[in-house]
Amino acid sequence: MAKPIIFSGIQPTGRKHLGNYIGAIRQYVEGQDRGDPAIFCIVDLHALSVPYDPADLRARLYDTAAILLAAGLDPERCILFRQSDVREHTELTWLLSAVTSHGDLNRMHQFKEKVGKDRELASAALFYYPVLMAADVLAYRATEVPVGDDQRQHVELMREIARRFNARFGEALVVPEMRIPEVGARIMDLQEPERKMSTTGGTEQGTVLVLDEPETIRKKFRSAVTDSGREIGRSPEKPGISNLIDILSVARGSEQKEVEREFEDVGYGDFKQAVGDAVVDYLGPVRARYAELRPDEAELDRVLGLGAEKARAICGPIVAEVRDRMGYQPERAA
């Protein structure tokens, strides 16, 4: 059976939290040997769609690169690069706009959530975000896209864009499949377990950062909101406990039912302490390796630059074929 071509991107904005790590970064590390190739992109162009500070964006990009490498991404086993270093992404975005309707973009849930009542003031880049995301994936003829559950609608749109392009211009693009983790697809805020963990829309005490100090992590779990009663089991009526069970099962690499059996006679306080301890152990090696990697920005630039060269070698001919099928002249050498 042929290996999948895997592509996924991660934002450099904000500090990476436990939800990012479980829902995305963990999938990247596990997928780098399954993919042929496995391609991972720090999507700095997407970060321009909302207000940002240029100096902060540069710093966060290096933060993100160091976290990905510390988590276990190996540039010898995968392709890791900075989106803005590969101009084919922006060219293909414009070409794909020919088969993307205004109505498609207008129905995107994330756009509505992010703009709220300020819809008329939102940037065109934020509205156009899903087209760039489609170009990121389709430029590589990726067959598998590891994403969190919140990206489901965006992947469905990129699949539709690929189908429309192929129907109009011929079979040049691959319709990708999404891969969502069975456990941990949506890690929730520890203080508001009905909401996804987030560094922008979540609570500070309910958001566990990958680089938090051990005692800070334990404190956040000790204060995590639970539910009425004493039973430790997953159910829609117990979002707080269900979230903690999911987190512990991932941190330990065990089944959710195993966690429920182990803690069936344990109180909430002891259970929360156990989850906090497990997360400290789970993230500890990443924090230590990050501290070694982050200071050397020249080395991070070198790794990302080599990744960009590999990425261009793959997507350049594909975007050239798209251009040709749409009636444009082949690109001329400078």
Q: Where are the chain's structural domains?
A: 6-184+297-325, 214-292
- Residues of the chain with pLDDT below 70 are 14, 111-121, 182-185, 330-334
In terms of pTM, does the model score above 0.85?
yes
The secondary element (H helix, E strand) that includes residue 41 is: strand 38-42
327 Cβ neighbours under 8 A, 6+ residues apart = none
β-partners of residue 38 are 6
Q: What is the chain's Cα-based Rg?
A: 21
Query: How many angstroms separate the CA atoms of 39 and 78, rounded?
Result: 6
User: Class of the 6-184+297-325 domain?
Assistant: alpha beta
241 Cβ neighbours under 8 A, 6+ residues apart = 226, 227, 231, 232, 233, 234, 268, 271
Query: How many angstroms separate the CA atoms of 113 and 110, rounded?
Result: 5
Query: How many angstroms separate the CA atoms of 209 and 211, rounded?
Result: 5
Tell me what pLDDT residue 203 has: 92
Q: Token pair of 262, please?
A: 């182990």
Fold designation for 214-292: Tyrosyl-Transfer RNA Synthetase (1.10.240)
In three-state secondary structure terms, 79 is strand
Tell me what pLDDT residue 234 has: 86
Query: How many angstroms separate the CA atoms of 228 and 241, rounded?
Result: 10
The secondary element (H helix, E strand) that includes residue 178 is: strand 177-179
User: Among all chains, which residue has been given the structure tokens 């392009």?
Assistant: 165
Tell me what pLDDT residue 332 has: 63
Query: How many angstroms separate the CA atoms of 200 and 190, rounded?
Result: 15
